[in-house]
Amino acid sequence: MKISDTLDSLQERAFRLLDLAVREGAEEAEVYGTLGRSVDIDLRKDVVELASESFHRGLGLRATVAGAVGFSSTSDLSLLEAVARSAVLSARARGPDESWRSLPYPQKVVHPEGIFDSRLEAIEPEDVLDMAATLLYGCSEVKGAEPVSGGVACICGTSFIVNTRGIALQEKGTLMHASMETIARGSDVATGSEFQNSRSLQPSLEDVGRAAAEMARASLGGVKAESGLYDVLLRPLAAAELMEYTILPALSADNVQKGRSQLLGRVGDSISSERLTITDDGLFPAGIDSTAFDGEGVPSQRTGLIEKGALKGFIYDSYTAGKEGVKSTGNAVRSGYSDVPRVGNRNLIVSSPEVIDLLAETRGYLVGGLIGAHTANPISGDFSVEARNCFWLEPGAAYRPMRSLMLTGNIFELLLDIEVGTDVRAIGSVVTPTLKVRMKVVGS
């Protein structure tokens, strides 16, 4: 059976599920569906541990009764009646919600560039095996380091959404992910990692394997770090990890409305140095989370959040926007058909009106990644994390590897004197360069 035939069949069932929900008593209904294929190669050391090809499809139904929303999902298309009944019963059990306004109505959407590659759609498992081999080859070029684990995944899928308000949208996309963990042994042991995410085919992954191995080797011979207050450069990975659990939650309208954000009531205030600008962009070309529409069918857009240090606003889905009488910013996100939409960032773009080469002018610590960023307090902004792949740097001198060290601080205090670099990199849905902050360092 052709994929297009399968998609047509799935969409027919989606409309049937809408009808069934209305018959069960739903005042509004929405069906989100996905159909996709994934080819995965998992590596353990320098051998293939698992090669797999998988297919997935499913439908998720939201049904509203008196403003209360019920949800049910399935991958078994023979259970549509049960799914409709379950969603409506769930809504009735929750009771009326005075804050609910409506499912979204149809609006014109714009399809972003660079999110689909026909080569990834047609890729065969043998091709992905060859790509994994280039990952290992790149690692092997670095003497003194060896692979620990890694893998390559190539994904193609179509998502669509239909609702009783007239929305009927679909979009096809592709994604490729490669990663490698390495280890190096000398007088001590050090590890390194590297990865690559792309919406298009990257046939050779030698650079990924080589960079992971070079990071492990460069981290050998680490010495104890000095404790104190220092300038710290957070490379893109470390910066993205910290922002994910501190700044991003504070910019969500859901957290603001529930009193769980330090930024409540501060729109228009200066909350960071003028060197910082943050934008959420669901239409960012080739962005990992770029789509024409969000998880509710609202058109994607570009939303300014912080501009030259001033807080411009927050990100909304339809529910949180309805509570304030504003428009959704197209920030309803889902992890799949079995997940309800929630407020989340699309592509978070960190930039600056200034151009600064932070690596050339900083005396302090350079941090490649973090351990424990998820333990940060998203309400207060306090954090205490372990730094990975750390180096001491001085202008004109070679980097010196450091043993692990702890970083502590408060993100909202650090923002006031933050500096933004030029080495922009996409870390999942966060696109950021290196960030320079001054914080407490505890050597270990």
Q: What is the CATH number of the domain that holds 96?
A: 3.30.2290.10
Compute CA distances 316 → 152, 270, 345, whole Å.
34, 21, 9
Six-digit token pair at 362?
Answer: 């900083």
In this structure, are residues 38 and 56 in contact, taking their beta carbons and an 8 Å threshold?
yes
Same domain, 36 and 50: yes
pLDDT score for 1: 39
Count up the domains in the chain and report the number. 2
Closest CA to 272 of 426, 381, 423, 408: 381
Which of 201, 216, 231 corresponds to the end of one domain? 216
Same domain, 59 and 185: yes
Same domain, 233 and 344: yes
Task: Give the whole-angstrom CA distance, residue 215 versus residue 317.
Answer: 40
pLDDT score for 395: 87
pLDDT score for 4: 53
In this structure, are residues 206 and 193 in contact, taking their beta carbons and an 8 Å threshold?
no
Same domain, 60 and 189: yes
pLDDT score for 3: 52
User: What residues make up the domain containing 413?
Assistant: 222-444
Which of 216, 248, 280 corresponds to the end of one domain? 216
Same domain, 212 and 226: no
pLDDT score for 359: 85
Same domain, 174 and 261: no
pLDDT score for 280: 98
Same domain, 56 and 148: yes
pTM (2 decimals)? 0.93
Question: 267: how many CB neighbours lie within 10 A of its CB?
Answer: 13
Same domain, 38 and 161: yes
Six-digit token pair at 107?
Answer: 């609006």
Same domain, 352 and 411: yes
Same domain, 39 and 89: yes
pLDDT score for 355: 80
Same domain, 52 and 134: yes
Taking only the tens of pLDDT, the chain with its 444 residues reads 345 558 889 999 999 999 999 999 999 999 999 999 999 999 999 999 999 999 999 999 999 999 999 999 999 999 999 999 999 999 999 989 999 999 999 999 999 999 999 999 999 999 999 999 999 999 999 999 999 999 999 999 999 999 999 999 999 999 999 999 999 998 899 999 999 999 999 989 999 999 999 999 999 999 999 999 999 999 999 999 999 999 999 999 999 999 999 999 999 999 999 999 999 999 999 999 999 999 999 999 999 999 999 999 999 999 999 999 999 999 999 999 999 999 999 999 999 988 888 988 899 999 999 999 999 999 999 999 999 999 999 988 888 999 889 999 999 999 999 999 999 999 999 999 999 999 999 987
Which of 166, 181, 216 corresponds to the end of one domain? 216
pLDDT score for 365: 96
Same domain, 324 and 197: no
Query: Residue 47 carries which side chain, given as an amino acid letter?
Result: V
Query: Residue 42 carries which side chain, given as an amino acid letter?
Result: D
